[in-house]
Amino acid sequence: MVSKKSRLLATVFPYLDIFSVFALTPPPQSFGHTPHRRLRWYLMTGYVCYAAAILVMTFLVTYANIIAIDEEVLEYNVADFTRVMGNIQKSLYSVMAITNQLNMLFNYRRLGEIYKDIASLENDMDEASQCFGGQKQRYSFRVRLACCLGFWMILMMCSMPRLTMTAMGPFVSLQFKILTEFVMIMQQLKSLEYCVFVLLIHELVLRLRHTLLQLQQEFQDCEQQDMLQALCVALKRNQLLLGRIWRLEGDVGIYFTPTMVLLFLYNGLTILHMVNWVYINKFLNDSCCHYERFFVCSTLIINLLLPCLLCQRCINAYNCIPRILHQIRCTSADPNFPMLSRGLREYSLQMEHLKLRFTCGGLFDINLKYFGGLLVTISGYVIILLQFKVQAIAEDRYKSSIDA
């Protein structure tokens, strides 16, 4: 098993097990060689059937919610673009589920290679840091994972059903409301699954940066040629490990591109859909569910903020490395040592060309700058939406006054 070779993966596997229950990712135990191949085949066949059942359930939920939207639109007599926007928003339930299932099917091997690369990088970094006293004792990765993801996962899974159950309206039966809650939570957990891999990459970058800081201290006091040569070899090894992290981020980005693009699209459209219904209910003097819908919109925004924030932290840690290289060049006991000068030059050139970017297929970057632009875009669409609604309501009132 891969987890037996990596403490980092053993730490995140409980979270990935939760995601596999929601049919978001294959069970992490399915990766790796096991002597019981027939048992493993039976388990994977059972999981495929389970994922197919989840997909069928999502189709039923989508159909029930579309029917409910049509009935609600007719009840309130607001059949403008509300029905179109509502149907598109509900249809994304099935689109996201299909995309995720196909992504797991076609990128199963890629995900297995990602696990292997993480385990290999962790082992190589531990081996490289043994000569410098090992890794720095920071807060446990398990604790940081729980603080960043575990707390928010529990809060979201407990609060979303309470906030959205009433907002679904009277046209959805209780059974389909419960199934809809499952589907909604399933979709939002995709963001946390992505955050797990971002935190893994961030942890690897922090370990590599710590080893580089230890190398800096060694270069300050070292004047022996043999020792300088050994330190230059360690510097080259650090450079190669950083290049492997850059490639790992590229593989993670490719794996999550389709699902994360749809998640950003779904959350943005859902916010507009909820704002639209809040305005409709307010116009009809129905104050029900206003605060609930506000908190749901806040939850959706935070669920997009979290991956952007974690990606930005990882990028900031990665961008600290050129400054450390500059300090090594300035504070080294023998800055004119040819091997050291050449190694620092190559490392600096690599940092200039291999920029760490968390991106969705080149469509957009996942960082705080993009999140700010996302908020501005959503706000702009909300303003346009409200302007159209005000105009439509004014026209309806004018026609009613003429008919009276």
pLDDT of residue 132: 61
pLDDT at residue 184 above 90? yes
pLDDT of residue 3: 52
pLDDT of residue 185: 93
pLDDT at residue 154 above 70? yes
Paired tokens of 280: 């409709």
Comparing CA positions, the residue from 86, 12, 41 lying closest to residue 276 is 86
pLDDT of residue 15: 94
pLDDT at residue 266 above 90? yes
pLDDT of residue 193: 96
The least confident of 7-16, 121-130, 365-374 is 121-130
> What pTM does this model have?
0.90
pLDDT of residue 252: 95
Q: What is the C-alpha separation between 191 and 173, in angstroms, rounded?
A: 28
Paired tokens of 400: 């009613």
Burial pattern 337-353, b for ≥16 Cβ within 10 A else e, equals: beebeebbeebeebbee
Residue type at 399? K
pLDDT at residue 394 above 90? no
pLDDT of residue 243: 93
pLDDT at residue 352 above 70? yes
pLDDT at residue 285 above 60? no
pLDDT at residue 331 above 80? no
- Domain residue spans of the chain: 3-403
